[in-house]
A and B are shown apart, each in its own frame.
Chain A
């Protein structure tokens, strides 16, 4: 910025004038998070230092003295680390494939990535369990073609947790990585090829440096999410894969041991903040949120190298991995048994009737949609404003704000949920969905913030200056120049926000009541204590709706193209 100021003195004035509006823009999210995130959580953490009504370190000492808590903390970070790694490794070939095929095939692949997002994480987990069981289809296949001598245990161990969590979290890396690939200048690859670089050389020296910002951003989202996970590992793992969020939840809802839960939450929070701080020192938090800095894709793809061809095969395999549970869920939903059997011995519409006939399912669906839309609007507004504000800010404290705006998604939802419950229930805000909308907005706004902030970083400031110097007012410039450039990221962030709200179970468990419960909460109730197959048909209805929307969108675009 410094030399820009020297070159263009008038714009520096403009910049200074804008620095107070910049602060104002970041203010709403700041205040929102202080009231509904920092405040309540500080209240909860305080509990960790109270024992028998007096200030003490007894809870923390208990954590240190009891081996199980060290084991579980170790598990948590090991699992989160490996899940992040496997998400990144599997995303590369898939994102590469998506970015280098024809538009129609690319759309289809997008479909494969987004579709699982719409099937509740709970349902995907049940599908994996049916698929990976000792006598499940995968083991049957592998033993019958002679790959395995006897069935392998994919479930209730580390493998199970890796499969389940990678599947749920992979889209968070694929999407930013895809954007990086699209933005990559293919002439660079061609140049490297003509200079004799092999596949490995091209990957290491061209692809990796150009895509690393996207990957780091996606990876950190995955890591922070993974650290606070517990439903998938608890269903697909064993006692050796127990994660800390499960113990927090257990201590709050079963043992009512708030002190211990708060101490565990404290340790988790400190570790998350520490890893964020380390990232900041190593890359700079700015680097994490930096977007892809390419010129925009040239339409003609580079000739595929041998490595590229291998990547294509791997990419197809990863797409199949993402779609597999969905493929299994559809026939399962037409079963008639009370138990999840694949393939079902008998087909019928029993569980669809149960979904459409029972008012509670339709009510929950409607409630979920309403909450989701409100959260999307609110989070997009707050997140975008804050990203604009922080982007324009000059001060060093910028990275503090970055950290604050990102952290809510890495705090296990149960902590935020319980803190908010004690704040909102007395005000009667649980019964009318205000509480759950606020809670989801806390969870979702970081996604919007990160994506928009990344887009702003890759936005060429010269364009803004050009528009302003040609006499456009700032709002005009924003509408005509900046907004169109931000649009894809904004939409991406909004989709993440909607999905976050639409798929959340934990917040809904605490922040909704019997009259306004959301669909995932109802699904959780159907799976937590029993197995209600209506859950599967419900998610098939959602998948069906998504397919219809995406298909009609595709057809419309094609028509437009034909005309």
Chain B
């Protein structure tokens, strides 16, 4: 009986939401699971729910395709989703996200390189080298730059790279001597793409696996399957914190931004904006890195972060200087063709 009542309640709530005025203070949030979503929950969702009384239901896997299907079929279930810049760009092209204006969320204090009209930047994370301290212990030569990753003579052993070419292609060119600032200029010519692909073919015999989720490179370093990985700093840090023999090389990084995005036709729009405003305030931005080693998107948060924690974060002013920001426009335009070539040369 109770469950039938609950079901009825859901239907009524849904009807009310469709009718325009969602009365129940509720919010549906979707992100990418794991330690990342865990950190969002602890740093932002839980305290926000406590403060406002808004009940948050969490989901995972907010693929842009799924959001598009929800909108097409008028069954939008999510209000706020998190996307990386490549997915955000794709979603904007498909028209599935709502524009965030200044009177909806004030973002004047946000790092300019991270801003986007359609999202509120939640954190900055980096792709960099992680290596096994068992293979390259302190006191001996330790890898730090992308060139070191490609240098199998100086740093012998198996490696792992991402199965998706974004960030790998950029790293390959930087390893080949291209200045970070010129990477996308080089990549805009067919010769530049050829050059990057040659780099992939060069490293291919030394790649034991091509990882698909962010935990894999950490597991592979921990188990000794590989000695060096190109992966995300927050994931490596989680491995280090749980005692795995891993260290990061900060010589080169490719930075990416994560965004909180408002889904078009979100049933709880008001609550969604409240959450975005809560998340972007400097005080709450400073909270996030307590739970995962991703950096704040506003410099105003740094005074609130102690020195020890700052060392773990990719978005400190000095680290930002040498970082290359991933160009999502480039990937939106050239992604499919590069993926096909990248898959092809590795399939042989």
Query: Do A and B make up one complex?
Result: yes
User: Which A residues are closer than 8 A to B by beta carbons?
Assistant: 66-68, 71-72, 75, 130, 133-136, 153, 155-156, 234-235, 238-240, 242, 252-257, 337-341, 421-422, 425-426, 428, 430-432, 509-510, 513-515, 525-532
CB distance from A253 to the nearest CB of B (A): 5
B165 to chain A, nearest CB (A): 11
B33 pairs with A253, CB closer than 8 A = no
- Residues A66 and B336 in contact, CB atoms below 8 Å apart: no
* Complex contacts, B10 vs chain A, CB 8 Å: 431, 515
Question: Do A253 and B63 have beta carbons less than 8 Å apart?
Answer: yes
Contact B347 A242 (CB under 8 A): yes
CB distance from A182 to the nearest CB of B (A): 43
| A131–B210 alpha-carbon span in the complex (Å) | 19
Q: Is the CB of A240 within 8 A of B348?
A: yes
Q: With contacts A66-B340, A255-B336, A430-B75 known, is A530 near B213, CB below 8 A? A: yes
Contacts of B242 in A (CB 8 A): 337-339
Chain B residues near A510: list those with CB within 8 A: 66
Sample of 7 A–B contacts (CB below 8 Å)? A135-B224, A235-B212, A239-B346, A252-B65, A255-B335, A337-B243, A338-B35
Enumerate chain A residues within 8 angstroms of B70, measured Cβ to Cβ. 425
Query: Ordered nearest first, which 3 A-B pairs have the shortest CB separation?
Result: A530-B34, A239-B346, A425-B73
B42 to chain A, nearest CB (A): 15
Assembly CA distance A421 to B36 (angstroms): 28
Contact A421 B343 (CB under 8 A): no
- Distance in angstroms between the alpha carbons of A332 and B58 in the assembled complex: 28
- The distance in angstroms between the C-alpha atoms of A41 and B42, with both chains bound, is 43
Q: Give the CA-CA distance A259 to B283 in the complex, in Å.
A: 47
Q: Residues of B within 8 Å of A, CB-based: how many?
A: 57
Contact with A along B181-223 (1 / 0, CB 8 A): 0000000000000000000000000001110111100110011
Q: Does B98 contact A (CB under 8 A)?
A: no
Q: Given A155-B209, A341-B222, does the pair A525, B60 have CB atoms closer than 8 Å? A: yes
B33 touches A526 (CB 8 A): yes
Given contacts A156-B208, A255-B336, A341-B223, is CB(A532)–CB(B65) below 8 Å?
A: no
A-contacting residues, B6-47, CB 8 Å: 7, 10, 28, 30, 32-36
Which residue of chain A has the shortest Cβ distance to B344 in the bound complex? Answer: A68
Q: Are the C-beta atoms of A426 and B75 separated by less than 8 Å?
A: yes
A135 and B223 in contact (CB under 8 A), knowing A256-B94, A338-B242? yes
- Known contacts A134-B225, A256-B64, A421-B69; A426 and B74 CB within 8 A of each other: yes
Q: Are A136 and B214 in contact (CB under 8 A)?
A: no
- The residue on A at minimum CB distance from B336 is A255
**A525 with B61: in contact, given A426-B75, A428-B75 (CB under 8 Å)?**
yes
Q: Contact flags (1/0) for B247-290 with A, using CB distance below 8 Å? A: 00000000000000000000000000000000000000000000
Bitwise, B50-67 to A at CB < 8 A (1) or not (0) is 000000011111011110
Residues in B neighbouring A252, C-beta threshold 8 A? 65
B68 interfacial contact with A, CB 8 Å: yes
Asked whether any CB of chain A lies closer than 8 Å to the CB of B178, the reply is no
Closest to A136 in B: B223
**Residues of A contacting B94 in the complex (Cβ-Cβ under 8 angstroms):** 256
User: When chains A and B are docked, how far (Å) is the Cα of A360 from the Cα of B276?
Assistant: 25
**A256 with B36: CB separation less than 8 A:** no
- 11 further A-B pairs in the complex, CB-CB below 8 A; given A155-B225, A530-B33: A239-B347, A253-B66, A339-B218, A341-B222, A432-B7, A514-B77, A525-B33, A527-B213, A528-B61, A529-B214, A531-B215
Residue B148 lies at the interface, judged by CB distance under 8 Å to chain A? no
* A136 CB contacts on chain B under 8 angstroms: 223
Chain B neighbourhood of A338, CB < 8 A: 35, 238, 242
Across the interface, which residues of B come within 8 angstroms of A240, CB to CB? 346-348
Contact present for A529 and B336 (CB under 8 Å): no
Give the distance in Å from the alpha carbon of A411 to the alpha carbon of B347 in the complex.
Answer: 24
How far is it, in angstroms, between the C-alpha of A339 and the C-alpha of B213 when the chains are bound? 13
Is residue B90 within 8 Å, beta carbon to beta carbon, of the partner chain? yes
Give chain B nearest CB distance to A99 CB in angstroms.
40
Residues in B whose Cβ lies below 8 Å from that of A532: 33-34
**Is the Cβ of A256 less than 8 Å from the Cβ of B68?**
yes
Q: Are B57 and A529 in contact (CB under 8 A)?
A: no
Residue of B nearest to A129 (CB): B219
Whether the Cβ atoms of A339 and B239 lie closer than 8 Å is: yes
Q: Are A529 and B213 in contact, with the CB atoms below 8 A?
A: yes
Q: Does B163 contact A (CB under 8 A)?
A: yes
Query: How many Å lie between the Cα of A438 and that of B223 in the bound state?
Result: 42
A206 to B77, CA, bound (A): 60
B244 beta carbon closer than 8 Å to chain A: yes
A256 with B34: CB separation less than 8 A: no
Measured between alpha carbons, how far is A472 from B225 in the docked complex, in Å?
68
For window 73-127 of B, CB contacts with A under 8 Å fall at 73-75, 77, 90, 94
How far apart sit A169 and B10, CA to CA, in the bound complex (Å)?
40
- In the bound complex, do residue A254 and residue B63 qualify as a contact, i.e. CB atoms below 8 Å apart? yes
Q: Which residues of B contact A525 (CB under 8 A)?
A: 33, 60-61
Q: Please, how many angstroms separate the alpha-carbon atoms of A431 and B10 in the complex?
A: 10
Task: List B contacts of A530 (CB < 8 A).
Answer: 32-36, 213-215
